[in-house]
Amino acid sequence: MRLLDQTRLPQAQVWLTCRQVEDVAEAIRQMRVRGAPAIAVAAAFGVALAARQAAAKGATVAAVRAAAAAASQELAQTRPTAVQLFAVLAALRQVWEDPGVDSGQALAEHITRAAERLAKTDSQVNRKIGDWGAQLFDRPVRILTHCNTGALATVEYGTALGVIRSLHREGKLAGVWVDETRPFLQGARLTAFELLQENIPFHLITDSTAAVLMRAGQVDAVVVGADRIAVNGDTANKIGTYGLAVLCRYHGIPFYVAAPMATIDPSAANGQAIPIEERAAHEVTEVLGQPIAPAGTPVWHPAFDVTPADLITALITEHGVLARPNERRIRDWLALQDAAAAGAGEGDV
């Protein structure tokens, strides 16, 4: 399994070869692949890799099942916040527990096909999110975004960056303000890399510049992604997102969260139920391996924060735009999607 090593971007485009599920787990842990949907799809292929290796050694159905289960357990321990990882592992469990498979080889093939379907679905979902998001605006707008939510963070196209891509394609994008996103610099390293490649107009800013831009009337909307959305609409995303939402409320600027429906965790009643990953101190005390703080400096480094639902103007999903998310509206929306799966239409709520 080959992954573009995102820790090396933008300086070098290095492809990493994962030969064992342990390599995939390590790549996720080290954020060589990151972004909620990309983590989930990489994990799906990690399970497929383990199943195929077992099948290649002539393993029985039971042994391939055991290999898939062990791989899933290992991958579930990589990063705790993004819920899609856990949703995808649960979906694959249904596949490897299917009693109707008669050989280890056939089971490994089923798991691989399921991983491929998950990847394809992510790409389709992103395009729909992009298009729903673009129809929110009827004139060229200046969007501020945080972290990286583009092709690198997903399978293709992106979520918040998908909205930006669709706006650009439709001639409704005046420019993008890209937060550098301390300390991992996903904005500076990855979003800037993607936007330059696509010739989408943008400026890179330090995270603390957002407020003065808003005060100067230079931001029409903030669009960010999400790692997990509680059923009341509280949203976990990259650290710094909550601050942007507070700034938007003060300045009267709409704040949108663009994310697949699979980001909604029905088992999380509110933001307090979302586990927030804390990462190693050296990510804060070093920049590109160079120390920037005295040795021994104590650090607190949560990788995500939670934006309360009442600061969110709308969720932009593959099924449409859900304005003013709260528990009742999200539960109705989830029920509507279940009905839609049985034949009803899509649209705004």
Q: Where in the sequence numbering do the catalytic residues fall?
A: 227
Using the rule CB under 6 A, give the single segment among 35-43, 195-203, 210-218, 268-276 that binds ligand MRU.
35-43
Task: State the distance between the two ends of the chain, measured CA to CA, in whole angstroms.
Answer: 41
User: Residue number with the shortest CB distance to ligand MRU?
Assistant: 225
Using the rule CB under 6 A, give the single segment among 87-95, 104-112, 204-212, 220-228 that binds ligand MRU.
220-228
225 to 254: interface string for ligand MRU, x by CB under 6 A: xxx---------xx----------------
34 near ligand MRU, judged by CB under 6 A = yes
142 near ligand MRU, judged by CB under 6 A = no
Whole-angstrom distance, CA of residue 236 vs CA of residue 255: 14
**Using CB under 6 A, which of 44, 64, 82, 95 touches ligand MRU?**
82
Closest to ligand MRU by CB, 112 or 307: 307
**Using CB under 6 A, which of 303, 306, 321, 330 touches ligand MRU?**
303
36 near ligand MRU, judged by CB under 6 A = yes
154 near ligand MRU, judged by CB under 6 A = yes
Whole-angstrom distance, CA of residue 11 vs CA of residue 173: 28
Using the rule CB under 6 A, give the single segment among 91-99, 104-112, 167-175, 221-229 that binds ligand MRU.
221-229
Query: In this structure, what is the dihedral angle of CA atoms 315, 317, 323, 329, given to the nearest 10 degrees?
Result: -100
Query: Using H for helix, E for strand and C for coil, what is the string for 126-165?
Result: HHHHHHHHHCCCCCCEEEEECCCCCCCCCCCCCCHHHHHH
* Least separation in angstroms between CB 130 and ligand MRU: 12
187 near ligand MRU, judged by CB under 6 A = no
**Amino acid present at 77:** Q
265 near ligand MRU, judged by CB under 6 A = no
Closest to ligand MRU by CB, 83 or 107: 83
The total number of residues written for the chain in this structure: 349
Whole-angstrom distance, CA of residue 251 vs CA of residue 245: 10
Whole-angstrom distance, CA of residue 1 vs CA of residue 71: 14
Query: Strands 264-265 and 202-205, how do they pair?
Result: unpaired
80 near ligand MRU, judged by CB under 6 A = no
**Using CB under 6 A, which of 32, 37, 185, 255 touches ligand MRU?**
37
Q: Judged by CB under 6 A, how many residues of this single chain contact ligand MRU?
A: 17
**Cα–Cα distance list, 181 to 167, 185, 207, 231, 327 (Å):** 22, 5, 6, 27, 30
Using the rule CB under 6 A, give the single segment among 54-62, 107-115, 149-157, 201-209 that binds ligand MRU.
149-157
Structure tokens at 175: 């420019």
Closest to ligand MRU by CB, 165 or 238: 238
Whole-angstrom distance, CA of residue 161 vs CA of residue 157: 7
Classify the C-alpha dihedral 50-52-54-57 as positive or negative: negative
Using the rule CB under 6 A, give the single segment among 45-53, 145-153, 206-214, 333-341 that binds ligand MRU.
145-153
The answer to whether 14 and 99 have CB atoms below 8 angstroms apart is no
Whole-angstrom distance, CA of residue 241 vs CA of residue 181: 10
Q: Which residues are near ligand MRU by CB under 6 A? A: 34-37, 82, 147, 149, 153-154, 159, 186, 225-227, 237-238, 303
